[in-house]
C-alpha cells in the first residue's frame, strides 16, 4: 500500500469507500453472509487514509526542507555582497 503513488492512493480510497457503501446498502436490505466484511472494509479505509496522510505530511516536510536549503544557499551568496557594500560606505 505504501508503494502506491499519491493519485493512486486517492483512487484506491475512493474505490474502497464505494465498496463499503455497497456493503452497507446490501446489509440494510438483507443480512450479509459475512457482516465482518463491513468492519474489515472500514479498517482498510482507515489504514489507507493514515498512509495517505503520512505521504502528504512527508511531501510538505520535504518541500519545507528544500526551501530552507535554498534560503541558506542564497544567504551565503548575499553575505559577501553586503560586506562589500558596507566597505564602500565606510570609505
pLDDT tens track for 6-30: 889 999 999 999 999 999 999 999 9
How much is the pLDDT for 30? 93
Question: Is 1 inside a domain boundary?
Answer: no
Range of the domain at 36: 6-90
- What pLDDT, on a 0 to 100 scale, did the predictor assign at position 11? 95
What DSSP designation does 4 have?
S
Q: What is the total count of domains within the chain?
A: 1
Distance CA(33)–CA(10), nearest Å, equals 29
Annotate 25-56 with DSSP letters as a single string. HHHHHS--S-THHHHHHHHHHHHHHHHHHHHH
pLDDT at residue 83, as a whole number: 62
CA distance 37 to 74: 55
Residue 13 in any domain: the answer is yes
Residue 55: partners with Cβ closer than 8 Å, 6 or more residues away: 6, 9
In a domain, 27, yes or no: yes
Full-model pTM: 0.70
pLDDT < 70 positions in the chain: 76-91
Amino acid at each position: 500500500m505504501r508503494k502506491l503513488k499519491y493519485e493512486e492512493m486517492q483512487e484506491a480510497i475512493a474505490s474502497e469507500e464505494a465498496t463499503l457503501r455497497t456493503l452497507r446498502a446490501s446489509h440494510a436490505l438483507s443480512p450479509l453472509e459475512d457482516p465482518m466484511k463491513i468492519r474489515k472494509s472500514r479498517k482498510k479505509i482507515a489504514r489507507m487514509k493514515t498512509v495517505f496522510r503520512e505521504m502528504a505530511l512527508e511531501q510538505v516536510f520535504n518541500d519545507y526542507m528544500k526551501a530552507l536549503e535554498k534560503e541558506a544557499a542564497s544567504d551565503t551568496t548575499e553575505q559577501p555582497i553586503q560586506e562589500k557594500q558596507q566597505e564602500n560606505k565606510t570609505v
